Amino acid sequence: MKIAYQGEPGAFSEAAARRVEPEAQLLPSKSFEEVFDRVAAEPATWGVLPFENSIGGSIHRNYDLLLSHELPIVGEVELPVVHHLLALPGATLAGLRRVYSHPQGLAQCERFLRTLTNVDIIATYDTAGSAKMVADAGLKDAAAIASARAGEVFGLASLAASVQDFDDNITRFLVIGRKPIRDAVPDKTSIVFSLPNEPGSLFKALSVFALRGIDLTKLESRPIPGRPWEYLFYVDLGVARDEVTCGRALTHLGEFAPMLRTLGTYASWKTQEGRTPDPFEVVS
């Protein structure tokens, strides 16, 4: 069993992949695109990608990639995220001139970063990759925002712990692949659809779920490439695709939605047993 994730060892995506299958062989990947490619070409059974953070919001690039590939969502993982300011042993806060991290990591620690003076904040491709860069280059005046485990992997010390703006900082990851995850019973469905630009069209679309008592756990709009000011709507439904009410709602929606696609039906994180290990075991 192989699971692809974006980033270096010590990335939060690595911890999320461990929650999917602790004994799986993990495949670090340079980009989100490479994760999709590895699952599509089948050197990896599943791919684990971040889609939403409770502080920083949605990772829009992955929504776009989900639409451009034919890989269904087969699961989700929620991960508590604890950020550390990591630097070479002996470095001090007063001596820092640069801080590196992924844009989401920087956004989640904005209030802490504002307390640093004369420090450049620099976005990179990965939290753990930032830690690796500081370690490999021997940057004594630089630090990275990443997990405690990234510090252990790359030999960095924590100058400050829990630097995220809010303690309740959670990232939601989706699992893509052609193979279902164990025997988890689906109770959630993700779809995407477009609508004609007509008065009341979104109200009409959402009513097909409201009239049948189907909970919408997320609603996200994204621009349609090449069609200015037209949008796709990504929706998470709190029901399995095979439920009669869901099937009828989607049939009804399909009568007036020019495009409708089911992205996956899967077990929500709240229904999975053993989903709440000590967060320090996950991120350190």
Average pLDDT over residues 117-132: 95
Average pLDDT over residues 21-33: 95
pLDDT of residue 114: 96
210 and 101 within one domain: no
**What CATH number has the domain bearing residue 256?**
3.30.70.260
174 and 56 within one domain: yes
Say what percent of the chain tops pLDDT 90. 89
pLDDT of residue 142: 97
Residue 230, domain extent: 188-269
pLDDT of residue 282: 39
pLDDT of residue 183: 76
User: How many domains would you assign to the chain?
Assistant: 3
pLDDT of residue 56: 85
Of residues 277 and 169, more confidently modeled: 169
282 falls within a domain: no
Average pLDDT, the chain: 93
Enumerate the active-site residues: 171, 173
**What CATH number has the domain bearing residue 113?**
3.40.190.10
274 falls within a domain: no
276 falls within a domain: no
Average pLDDT over residues 150-157: 97
156 and 116 within one domain: yes
What is the residue-wise DSSP string for the chain? -EEEEESSTT-HHHHHHHHH-TTSEEEEESSHHHHHHHHHHSSSSEEEEEEEETTTEE-HHHHHHHHHS---EEEEEEEE---EEEE-TT--STT--EEEE-HHHHHHTHHHHTT-SS-EEEE-S-HHHHHHHHHHHT-TTEEEEE-HHHHHHHT-EEEEE--SS-S--EEEEEEEESS--TTPPP-EEEEEEE--S-TTHHHHHHHHHHTTT--EEEEEEEEPTTSTT-EEEEEEESS-TTSHHHHHHHHHHHTT-S-EEEEEEE--GGGSTT----HHHHH-
Average pLDDT over residues 81-101: 96
pLDDT of residue 272: 65
120 and 151 within one domain: yes
pLDDT tens digit sequence for 232-284 = 999 999 999 999 999 999 999 999 999 999 999 999 997 664 544 433 343 33
284 falls within a domain: no
pLDDT tens digit sequence for 189-235 = 999 999 999 999 999 999 999 999 999 999 999 999 889 999 999 99
130 and 242 within one domain: no
Say what percent of the chain tops pLDDT 70. 95
277 falls within a domain: no
pLDDT of residue 277: 46
